[in-house]
Structure 1
Amino acid sequence: MNPLGWLPYRRIRVLGPSMAPTLRSGDVVLVRNRRRPRRGDVVVVTWVTRPGQVSVKRATTADPDGWHVEGDNPYASTDSRDLGPARVHGVVVARLWPQPRLLSSR
């Protein structure tokens, strides 16, 4: 089951400092549901070891079991370095609030 639902786009509020400076806690982003990620994309993921937790991270490497993802702020991120491969559910395409702007791959 996709935690983003069935609509093609979804708004999500970022919580926590793991994606700073790209995204900060409280930012609202627009996510494209079921979009195939590319290396460098900011993505919405889940982990088998943390059911129910949805996270925003950066896709770094495709893996047979999912994607290796990391936060942009390594000092404040729990990610694939700790939890292993993640399942990607959507790609963040834009920040809506504050200061709207498109997000692109690194």
Structure 2
Amino acid sequence: MQEQVRDREADRERKGPGLRGIGLAEVHGPSMVPTLSAGDLLVVRYGGSVRPGDVVVLRHPFRQDLLIVKRAVERRDGGWWVLGDNRYVENDSREFGVVPDELVVARAWARLRPPPDRGRGQRSPAALLAWAASAVRPLPGRSTRSERSERSAYRRFRAR
């Protein structure tokens, strides 16, 4: 299953200061679960530097008309090694290898969860407030998956 990201800004690769370099991208597919789900919107910054651990939007190396979202894991000769957070979906560097720098379109800053049951009528004010409190979240930092799990285990141990 192909992971897709639809760029809400008509796939413009804009660079520059201020809001001109900011855009939205919609996530389709399961490769970034649990961090991102289908229907999530990403607030992205076009251009700029990418560091290990960043969630990035890139052009698929074999189908450059297709935008995908992955986590930049490490620099290698020729570009970035990228992986999805869902280890069961292999539509990442395990399948297509290192991604050249010029195919990295944007870096994601935050995700916006879609409102629950959109299109099914009005929601109670309490339900909307609960959604709003969790709708906008910064994406996890620049740590790797193993560092995050070790840190989480350490916090659980300290809490006891």
Matched, 1:37 2:53: no
Number of equivalenced pairs:
104
CA contact (8 A) 1:66 1:88 kept: no
| Structure 2 residue aligned with 1:97 | 113
In 2, Cα distance between the equivalents of 1:48 and 1:78? 11
The gaps in structure 1 that reach 5 residues or longer are: none
Cα drift, residue 66 of structure 1: 1.5
Q: Identify the range of structure 1 (58-67 vs 10-19) with the bigger mean alpha-carbon deviation.
A: 58-67
Amino acid at match of 1:47: H
SS of 2:95's equivalent?
helix
In 2, Cα distance between the equivalents of 1:91 and 1:4? 14
| Structure 2 residue aligned with 1:5 | 13
Matched, 1:24 2:61: no
Structure (1/2) with the larger strand percentage: 1
Cα drift, residue 20 of structure 1: 0.3
Structure 1 or 2, whichever has the larger Rg, is 2
Tell me how large the CA RMSD over aligned residues is: 1.4
In 2, Cα distance between the equivalents of 1:64 and 1:44? 20
In 1, Cα distance between the equivalents of 2:29 and 2:40? 10
Cα drift, residue 89 of structure 1: 1.5
Structure (1/2) with the larger helix percentage: 2
Amino acid at match of 2:86: N
Give the TM-score normalised by structure 1: 0.88
Cα drift, residue 40 of structure 1: 0.6
In 1, Cα distance between the equivalents of 2:12 and 2:81? 20
Amino acid at match of 1:90: A
The gaps in structure 2 that reach 5 residues or longer are: 1-10, 15-19, 115-134, 144-160
| Larger RCO (alpha carbons 8 Å, 6+ apart) | 1
Cα drift, residue 101 of structure 1: 0.9
